[in-house]
């Protein structure tokens, strides 16, 4: 038994990237969040944000994307296990969507708090 099998690792990465591509193609909210992430990364590159600010922004962006992925997974599982939407399935889907919405709002506020002083010229 070897510690690291490069072929298995490569397959794992290909499957993970395939999952990302699949979600990107099928989920409008994920595409919008990726566009927002790109905008944040451009601002990080252009504005003189500190390393701590950049790390925090990367963390909240990643959190939003991960929560949206979990939301998509939960919806897919619910559809698979219960093809006819029951009241309970709808409640779970709504709650997952709420988690994604709250993460997005929090990330937006963090971005606003960090970027606004740079954009209005009150931070060097």
Tell me the catalytic residues.
Answer: 68
Cα 32 to chain centroid, rounded: 10
Helix orientation angle between 51-81 and 87-120, rounded to the nearest 10 degrees: 160
Tally Cβ neighbours within 10 Å of residue 96.
19
- For the record, the structure tokens of 20 come out as 């990302």
Query: What residues contact 92, with CB distance under 8 A and at least 6 apart?
Result: 74, 78
């Amino acid at each position: 038994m070897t510690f690291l099998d490069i072929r298995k690792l490569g397959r794992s990465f290909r499957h993970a990237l395939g999952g990302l591509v699949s979600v990107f193609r099928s989920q409008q909210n994920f595409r919008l969040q990726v566009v927002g992430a790109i905008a944040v990364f451009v601002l990080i590159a252009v504005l003189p944000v500190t390393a701590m600010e950049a790390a925090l922004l990367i963390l909240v962006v990643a959190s939003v994307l991960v929560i949206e992925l979990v939301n998509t997974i939960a919806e897919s599982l619910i559809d698979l296990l219960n093809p006819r939407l029951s009241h309970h399935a709808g409640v779970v889907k709504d709650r997952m969507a709420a988690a994604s919405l709250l993460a997005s709002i929090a990330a937006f506020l963090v971005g606003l708090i960090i970027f606004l002083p740079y954009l209005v010229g009150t931070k060097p």
